[in-house]
Amino acid sequence: MNAVPTTLRAGPDANGHFGAFGGRYVAETLMPLILDLEKAYIAAKADPAFTAEFEHLLAHYVGRPSPLYFAESLTAHLGGAKIYLKRDELNHTGAHKINNCIGQILLAKRMGKTRIIAETGAGQHGVATATVAARFGLPCVIYMGARDIERQAPNVFRMKLLGAEVRAVESGSRTLKDAMNEALRDWVTNVHDTFYIIGTAAGPHPYPELVRDFQSVIGKEARAQIMAAEGRLPDLLMAAIGGGSNAIGLFHPFLDDASVRMIGVEASGHGIETGQHAASLAGGRAGVLHGNKTMLLQDEDGQITEAHSISAGLDYPGIGPEHAWLHSIGRVEYQAATDVEALDAFQMLCRTEGIIPALEPAHALAAVKRVAPTMAADDIIIANLCGRGDKDIFTVAEALGVTL
């Protein structure tokens, strides 16, 4: 009897589960909506016209494919493996978030929805959502934690320029998780006309799957690009993890390539031991929040605890369910980088490569800095540079004690 071919790329199952994680933990009012979304997504995937429009917009509006750049100076600086950067920070709007927003707004249009809502942390997803809403002429409301509004002022102004209404969320920790609560409250109230563009590979099924699929363009391109440049697969993939959409987008097309090691890098804030961090795998437990079962920062009573990271985009107490599963089966390694390590890596990339990264991928670069010197000179690393750092200059200046 032949062995059954196995793949790690087939998930989720019909009920939206990745192993013990994922699922559809939403209020009954929303169930018919997410079942409709699932049907619409299945139909869209099978429709060549949908794929063609998605790819056309990625090429001509977003500017894809993004380059896979050999960071020669950084490689020389660290002394070890060859480091390639997947330059998703060069996308229109400055981060990988736009890939997913293009896909979801096309779904919204297909479903006849006339109003867009989204949550945002660092503001990159908010900007990307406001961008596609403007492009397709739909009114757009972005929920953003009041604390994030304070620390990401440039992105708030960008969203407003793009015609979005930015609603400050004052509840809870006033960050990304609270913005997501408020977006869910809006959605449950405006069920007939509203499409909720979730920004990361989390939430109720089918969001983790469809966000991953839209972001997988990163890994598909990187695979073709590294084959063209080096004639072989990379040895290691590195990406930062908040919810984990840029990481799953890079990793997913390589999951069945056993020779490719993958490291996802969580934000350990002031350090896991301090309790002030955003590392839900390293410091969390399985639980249910925002429509999915995943690893969460929570106390022994199941109350969600506040995350901390210098990076507003990683400041979330959960993680996408597919990462929770990949962690549980050991296919992907997960490490963490502190605020201090991320700041250090941020400056390292500025000075070695002339690239100002966002604080989110600076966490991945911090792990590259640790790991690359331990590898051989002919080993290959691809790190996902998922966003640019213009939005973070005020945060970085403050952290470095510089008054602008």
Partner 1 sequence: MTDRLSTRFAACAAEGRAALVTFVTAGDPDLTTSAAVLRALVASGADVVELGMPFTDPMADGASIQLGNIRSLTSGTRLRDVLAMIAEYRREDDATPIILMGYFNPILAYGPARFAADARAVGLDGTIVVDLPPEEAAELVPDLNAQGLHLIRLATPTTDAARLPRVLDGASGFLYYVAVAGVTGANAATASDVAAAVARLKQATALPIAVGFGVRTPDQAAAIAVHADAVVVGSAIVDAIGAASAERANDIPARVGALVAGLATAVRGARLKDAAA
The span of 90-98, 175-183, 260-268, 385-393 binding partner 1 (CB under 8 A) equals 175-183
Q: In terms of C-beta density within 10 A (0-12 exposed, 13-18 middle, 19 or more buried), how is residue 307 classed?
A: buried
Please compute, for residue 77, the number of CA atoms within 13 A of its CA located in the half-sphere on the CB side.
17
The span of 26-34, 230-238, 268-276, 378-386 binding partner 1 (CB under 8 A) equals 26-34
CB of 175 to partner 1, least distance (A): 12
The Cα–Cα gap between 320 and 330 comes to 16
Burial 39-59 (b: 16+ CB within 10 A, else e): ebbeebeeeeebeebbeebbe
**CB 368 within 8 Å of CB 85:** no
The Cα–Cα gap between 63 and 87 comes to 11
CB of 325 to partner 1, least distance (A): 16
Instruction: Report the residue number, 65 or 287, with the smaller CB distance to partner 1.
Output: 287
- Among 18, 21, 24, 348, which residue interacts with partner 1 (rule: CB under 8 A)? 24
DSSP secondary structure letters along 294-360: EEE-B-TTSPBPPP--SSGGG--S---HHHHHHHHHTSSEEEEEEHHHHHHHHHHHHHHHS--B-HH
Rule CB under 8 A: say whether 191 interacts with partner 1. yes
Cβ neighbour number for residue 297 with a 10 Å cutoff: 25
The span of 25-33, 48-56, 125-133, 330-338 binding partner 1 (CB under 8 A) equals 25-33
Instruction: Report the residue number, 39 or 45, with the smaller CB distance to partner 1.
Output: 39
CB of 118 to partner 1, least distance (A): 16
Site string for partner 1, 239-278 (x = CB under 8 A): ----------------------------------------
Name residue 81's amino acid. A
- Among 9, 13, 31, 232, which residue interacts with partner 1 (rule: CB under 8 A)? 31
Instruction: Report the residue number, 65 or 317, with the smaller CB distance to partner 1.
Output: 317
Cβ neighbour number for residue 259 with a 10 Å cutoff: 9
The Cα–Cα gap between 259 and 255 comes to 10
- Rule CB under 8 A: which of 278-307 touch partner 1? 285-291, 296, 298, 300-304
CB of 321 to partner 1, least distance (A): 13
Put residue 345 in one of left, alpha, beta given phi > 0 → left and psi -120 to 50 → alpha.
Answer: alpha
Classify strands 380-384 and 236-240 as parallel, antiparallel or unpaired.
Answer: parallel
Rule CB under 8 A: say whether 147 interacts with partner 1. no
Rule CB under 8 A: say whether 33 interacts with partner 1. yes
How many residues of this chain bind partner 1 (CB under 8 A)? 39
CB of 137 to partner 1, least distance (A): 25
- Among 147, 151, 174, 177, which residue interacts with partner 1 (rule: CB under 8 A)? 177
**CB 381 within 8 Å of CB 75:** no
Binding site for partner 1 (CB under 8 A): 15, 23-33, 35, 171-172, 177-178, 181, 184-185, 188-192, 285-291, 296, 298, 300-304
